[in-house]
């Protein structure tokens, strides 16, 4: 089954996607990761995306939709998780069209609910491995000895948009643009709301149960 994983910044979408990839061998399509890859490669798309991402704003819909179209074509018939797309109703409507183009469907739209107060703590404490992308947290999940537990790299960094000003904007953008997607997918009878609090493994048990 193909799924959407959505929720506020810091709700744990990337963390749960990594578990789904590792244990259920699903394909992960994260628009945030695709933009970060383009930034690293210093492409034109990357430069454009960076100018929005650093401020916590959404990258324009047209660019984002074209990028997802290419990715959906590229992955063939693998089961996929869409993480971070769609992010507003216009993108959700565009996704419906894209899915028809590639003859695919979304089985469920999983919404991870985490209270606002926890989100700020999660985002400001998040750290990542630059080499492999593994996600850490300074107190909840620190890398052992400052090195990535996954690949051993010592290049652990903080995302530019995990600084206080950008976090505030991202949470506002989420409330205004992304939260209305709950109604969109509820109307399509695809919405499953999950509690995103508690330990990662506990959340993963709820994600897995929602897929069965
Ligand atoms: P994107 O990369 O998608 O960021 P986001 O949606 O803001 O989500 P995050 O990656 O911040 O959080 P997450 O839910 O994945 O949480 P994580 O698992 O890392 O997008 C970045 C930017 O790209 C956007 O602002 C926008 O500019 C642009 N963009 C992307 N998609 C776009 C689109 N469709 N349209 C337009 N623009 C787009 O966890 C966070 C922290 O919490 C970590 O430290 C983790 O260790 C910790 N944690 C996770 N689970 C738990 C748990 N159960 N308990 C305690 N801590 C936990």
Nearest residue (by CA) to ligand 1, atom 23, is: 32
Is the CB–ligand 1 distance for residue 53 below 6 Å? yes
Distance from residue 174's CA to the centre of ligand 1 (Å): 11
Looking at the CA of residue 60, tell me the nearest atom of ligand 1.
36
Q: Which of 33, 66, 84, 173 to mutate to test the pocket of ligand 1 (most atoms within 8 A of CB)?
A: 84
Predicted pLDDT at 84: 96
Per-residue pLDDT of the chain (212 residues; tens, 9 = 90+): 999 999 999 999 999 999 999 999 999 999 999 999 999 999 999 999 999 999 999 999 999 999 999 999 999 888 999 999 999 999 999 999 999 999 999 999 999 999 999 999 999 999 999 999 999 999 999 999 999 999 999 999 999 999 999 999 999 999 999 999 999 999 999 999 999 999 999 999 999 999 98
Q: Are 13 and 23 spatial neighbours (Cβ–Cβ below 8 Å)?
A: no
Which tokens go with 49?
Answer: 């995306």
Predicted pLDDT at 28: 96
Kindly compute the dihedral angle of the four CA atoms of residues 55, 191, 94, 174, in this order, to the nearest 10 degrees. Answer: -10
Task: Give the list of residues 6+ apart from residue 210 with CB closer than 8 angstroms, or none.
Answer: 108, 110, 192, 194
Task: Give the list of residues 6+ apart from residue 115 with CB closer than 8 angstroms, or none.
Answer: 197
Q: How many CA atoms lie within 13 A of 126 on its CB side?
A: 24
- Cα separation, 18 vs 45, in Å, equals 25
Predicted pLDDT at 166: 94
Active centre residues (catalytic): 13, 87, 126, 159, 170
Which tokens go with 125?
Answer: 């404490």
Looking at the CA of residue 52, tell me the nearest atom of ligand 1.
27
Predicted pLDDT at 192: 98
Residue labelled with tokens 């401020």: 55
Distance from residue 14's CA to the centre of ligand 1 (Å): 6
Predicted pLDDT at 76: 86
Predicted pLDDT at 162: 95
Looking at the CA of residue 196, tell me the nearest atom of ligand 1.
53
Predicted pLDDT at 207: 98
């Amino acid at each position: 089954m193909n799924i959407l994983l959505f929720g506020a910044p810091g709700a744990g979408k990337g963390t749960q996607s990594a578990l789904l990839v590792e244990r259920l061998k699903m394909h992960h399509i994260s628009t945030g990761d695709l933009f970060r890859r383009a930034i690293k490669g210093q492409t034109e798309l990357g430069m454009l995306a960076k100018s929005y991402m650093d401020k916590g704003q959404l990258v324009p819909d047209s660019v984002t939709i074209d990028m997802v179209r290419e990715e959906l074509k590229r992955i063939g018939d693998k089961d996929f998780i869409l993480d971070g797309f769609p992010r507003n109703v216009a993108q959700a409507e565009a996704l419906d069209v894209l899915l028809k183009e590639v003859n695919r469907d979304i089985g469920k739209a999983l919404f991870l609910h985490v209270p606002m107060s926890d989100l700020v703590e999660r985002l400001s404490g998040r750290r990542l491995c630059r080499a492999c992308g593994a996600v850490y947290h300074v107190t909840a999940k620190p890398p052992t000895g400052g090195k990535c537990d996954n690949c051993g790299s010592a290049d652990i960094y903080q995302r530019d948009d995990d600084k206080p000003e950008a976090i505030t904007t991202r949470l506002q953008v989420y409330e205004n643009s992304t939260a209305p997607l709950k109604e969109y997918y509820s109307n399509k009878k695809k919405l499953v709301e999950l509690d995103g609090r508690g330990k990662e493994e506990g959340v993963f048990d709820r994600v897995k149960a929602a897929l069965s």
